[in-house]
């Protein structure tokens, strides 16, 4: 009836378009694969973020992130990049310097303006460097010069929830006319739950600083590192002497009249140590509970103990402990086993821990008598006896 094929040796040529074609995954499958990939990326991001906080409990692991603590609410002026800051009317009003500040004072030291940078940023720090937003500081180390402010800031920067500007901004004493936008731009980027900080020791003795900081935010937390005023004055003089070897002796600068024993309080090295006088100005704008007074002596003898108080004051989890420090016998003060963004031990620079010149013991005795009533008033105002007498 039809033509018969000639067995197995014969073959038919079938067009390729008649052959079965491989089928592409239906659109729903592709959507599911894309969704799975996106979820994997989000999970990886969240894992790195959460690990940054929890892993920081191990000594020296310096990761940026949110530790397991209650979120520190920033002040209303710094609630996010999309919220406009209220415009304040800034007048170019020069800050009032300490009387006689030019006496035995050189230009601002390079060590205060350009602190040593960490060796290199950690991988996680680099990962998050483009994240977050710049905020006005929620906490400021306002003083005092030669009290231990640099050490405190470097120790605090180990905490994963603290982000601090390295150099001293000097905004509230020298650059206030530049405005809050300029000031905020100096700050590092922070993630939700991290605290922005800065330190400028001269704020404590600047008359205009309390009102200016209060105008920025009444909720700003203030930290003051204080030290035996006699030792502090000698350290202040030692720093100036290292830059200006031709200045008069400490003894001649201390007295208006050596024979009468009248102390020259116009010399800034002496005036800074009258802590009670300066504190009065701050208490007109901030309640005492919003200020923390750190002992410069204890910061050397028990850095972990003082850092514990600071972390509590800032509402941070106690991550910085004694495991982070070792005592450097050569320098005579504690150093970090691993600094922020580095895997190496880190001590403050050679400009810190200078050897003090020998001072006439009689001059030291007269200075202690001079400071004693001011110290006792300071103890009463702060509710803490620092033991300088």
Can you give the CATH number for the domain in which 330 is found?
3.40.50.300
Among the residue ranges 77-91, 124-138, 155-169, 175-189, the one predicted with the least confidence is 77-91
- Residue 334, both tokens: 């504690």
Q: Is the peptide bond before 68 cis (omega within 30 degrees of 0)?
A: no
> Does the structure show a pLDDT above 60 at 17?
no
The residue whose two tokens read 């909720």 is 219
Q: What is the pLDDT of residues 95-116, one digit of tens each?
A: 554 544 444 444 444 444 444 4
More confident residue, 77 or 186: 186
C-alpha to C-alpha distance for 283 and 374, rounded to whole angstroms: 16
Share of the chain above pLDDT 90, in %: 55
Which whole number is the average pLDDT over 262-282? 97
Whether residue 92 is contained in a domain is answered as no
Looking at the domain assignment, is residue 195 inside a domain?
yes
- Residue 76 falls within a domain, yes or no? no
How confident is the model at residue 100, as a pLDDT?
47
Residues 87 and 211: their CA atoms lie apart, in Å, by 16
In a domain, 96, yes or no: no
- The reply to whether 351 falls in a domain is yes
Q: DSSP character for 135?
A: -
User: Distance of CA 57 to CAs 49, 93, 132, Å?
Assistant: 14, 45, 23
- Retrieve residue 366's tokens: 């007269």
Do the Cβ atoms of 273 and 232 come closer than 8 Å? yes
Backbone angles phi, psi at 229, to 5 degrees: -60, -30
Query: Does 52 score more than 80 pLDDT?
Result: no
Give the residue-averaged pLDDT of 291-314: 96
SS3 string, 5-21, reads CCHHHCCCCCCHHHCCC
Residue 244 located in a structural domain: yes
- In this predicted model, what pLDDT tens digit does every residue of 144-193 receive, in sequence order? 999 999 999 999 999 999 999 989 999 999 999 999 999 999 999 999 99
Any domain includes 112: no
- 46 vs 157 pLDDT, higher one: 157
In a domain, 71, yes or no: no
Q: In the chain, pLDDT over 70 holds for what percent of residues?
A: 66
d(CA 291, CA 221): 6
Q: Is the pLDDT of residue 39 over 50?
A: yes
pLDDT at residue 352 is higher than 50: yes
Does the pLDDT at position 204 exceed 80?
yes
Query: Do 155 and 347 contact (CB within 8 A), yes or no?
Result: no
- What's the total number of domains in the chain? 1
- What residues pair up with 195 in beta bridges, in sequence order? 162
- Ordered DSSP codes for 323-349: GGEEEETTTTEEEESS-TT-SS-B---
Binding residues, by number, are 146-150, 227, 235, 352-356
Coil, strand or helix at 213: helix
Name every residue whose Cβ is closer than 8 Å to that of residue 350 and which is 6 or more positions away in sequence.
none
Query: CB under 8 Å to 299, separation ≥6 — which residues?
Result: 148, 151, 152, 225, 306
Q: Is 146 a catalytic residue?
A: yes
Query: In which domain, by residue range, is 301 found?
Result: 133-382
Which segments are annotated as binding site for 3'-phosphoadenylyl sulfate? 146-150, 227, 235, 352-356
- Tell me if 231 sits within 8 A of 145, measured CB to CB: no
Say yes or no to pLDDT of 26 above 70: no
Of 354, 375, 379, give the one whose Cα is nearest residue 230: 375
Whole-angstrom distance, CA of residue 51 vs CA of residue 33: 27
Contact 198, 140 (CB under 8 A): yes
User: Residue 177 has what pLDDT?
Assistant: 98
Catalytic residue among 103, 134, 145, 146: 146
């Amino acid at each position: 009836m039809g033509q018969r094929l000639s067995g197995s040796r014969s073959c038919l040529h079938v067009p390729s378009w008649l052959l079965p074609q491989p089928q592409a995954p239906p659109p729903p499958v592709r959507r599911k694969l894309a969704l799975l990939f996106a979820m994997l990326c989000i999970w990886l991001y969240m894992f790195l973020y959460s690990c940054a906080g929890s892993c920081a409990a191990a000594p020296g692991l310096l990761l940026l992130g949110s530790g397991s603590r209650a979120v520190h609410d920033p002040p209303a002026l710094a609630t996010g990049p999309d919220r406009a800051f209220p415009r304040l009317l800034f007048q170019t009003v020069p800050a009032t310097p300490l009387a006689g500040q030019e006496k035995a004072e050189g230009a601002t030291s390079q060590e205060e303006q350009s602190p040593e940078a960490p060796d290199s940023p950690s991988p996680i720090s680099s990962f998050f460097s483009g994240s977050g937003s710049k905020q006005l500081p929620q906490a400021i180390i306002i003083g005092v010069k030669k009290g231990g402010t640099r050490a405190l800031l470097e120790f605090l920067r180990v905490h994963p929830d603290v982000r601090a500007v390295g150099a001293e901004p000097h905004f509230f004493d020298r650059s206030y006319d530049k405005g809050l936008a300029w000031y905020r731009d100096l700050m590092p980027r922070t993630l939700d739950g991290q605290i922005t900080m800065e330190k400028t020791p001269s704020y404590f003795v600047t008359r205009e600083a309390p009102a200016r900081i209060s105008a920025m935010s009444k909720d700003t937390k203030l930290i003051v590192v204080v030290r035996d005023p006699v030792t502090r004055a000698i350290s202040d003089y030692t720093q100036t002497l290292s830059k200006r070897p031709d200045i008069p002796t400490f003894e001649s600068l201390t007295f208006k009249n050596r024979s009468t024993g009248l102390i020259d309080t116009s010399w800034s090295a002496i005036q800074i140590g009258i802590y009670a006088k300066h504190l009065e100005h701050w208490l007109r704008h901030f309640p005492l509970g919003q200020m923390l007074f750190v002992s410069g002596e204890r910061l050397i003898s028990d850095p972990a103990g003082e850092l514990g108080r600071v972390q509590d004051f800032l509402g941070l989890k106690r991550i910085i402990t004694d495991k982070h420090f070792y005592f450097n016998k050569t320098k005579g003060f504690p150093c970090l086993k691993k600094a922020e963004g580095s895997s190496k031990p880190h001590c403050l620079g050679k400009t810190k821990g200078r050897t003090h010149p020998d001072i006439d013991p009689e001059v030291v005795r007269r200075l202690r008598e001079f400071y004693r009533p001011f110290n006792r008033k300071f103890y009463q105002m702060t509710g803490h006896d620092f033991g300088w007498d």
